[in-house]
Amino acid sequence: MRKLLVPILVLIILVQFILLWLSRDTANVYPRVGVQDAVHIVEILDEDIEDDSVRAVKYRLELLVDEFGQWYIDEQSSTWACWPGRGHEEFSSEFCE
């Protein structure tokens, strides 16, 4: 059962974001899942930020499976993009102005 805990939690999070995305009039939350070199990557892009400097936030999880078949989070990060004139417009870990 412990092997399935992380994938089940990731699936629950994705379902919650998809339901949130479907329930909005202006849907601006985009989940994405992929595999790259045995690393399972979950990214959630939220463009519905009510902030005068932050335009969008991207959450990223990198999941791996060890030799015993147990899942673990290898890396996690958050980056954001700023509105024009408020800092970097591409996703970065630098703060917006």
Report pLDDT for 11.
72
Report pLDDT for 69.
83
The pTM of the full predicted model, rounded to 2 decimals, is: 0.65
The verdict on residue 63 lying in a domain is yes
Report pLDDT for 29.
65
46-74 pLDDT tens trace = 887 888 999 999 988 888 888 888 888 88
The verdict on residue 95 lying in a domain is no
The verdict on residue 91 lying in a domain is no
The verdict on residue 90 lying in a domain is no
How far, in Å, CA of 85 to CA of 40, rounded?
A: 35
Q: What is the DSSP string of 29-97?
A: EEEEEEEETTEEEEEEEE-----SSEEEEEEEEEEEE-TTS-EEEEEEEEEEEEPTTSS-SS-BSSPP-
The verdict on residue 88 lying in a domain is no
Please tell me the total count of domains within the chain: 1
Instruction: State the CATH number of the domain containing residue 8.
Output: 3.10.450
The verdict on residue 28 lying in a domain is yes
The better pLDDT of the pair 65, 86 is held by 86
H or E segment to which residue 69 belongs: none
Kindly tell me the burial class for residue 30, based on how many C-beta atoms sit within 10 Å of its own C-beta (0-12, 13-18, 19 or more).
Answer: middle
How far, in Å, CA of 6 to CA of 33, rounded?
A: 14
Which range marks the domain in which residue 6 is found?
A: 2-82
Residue 21 pLDDT greater than 70, yes or no: no
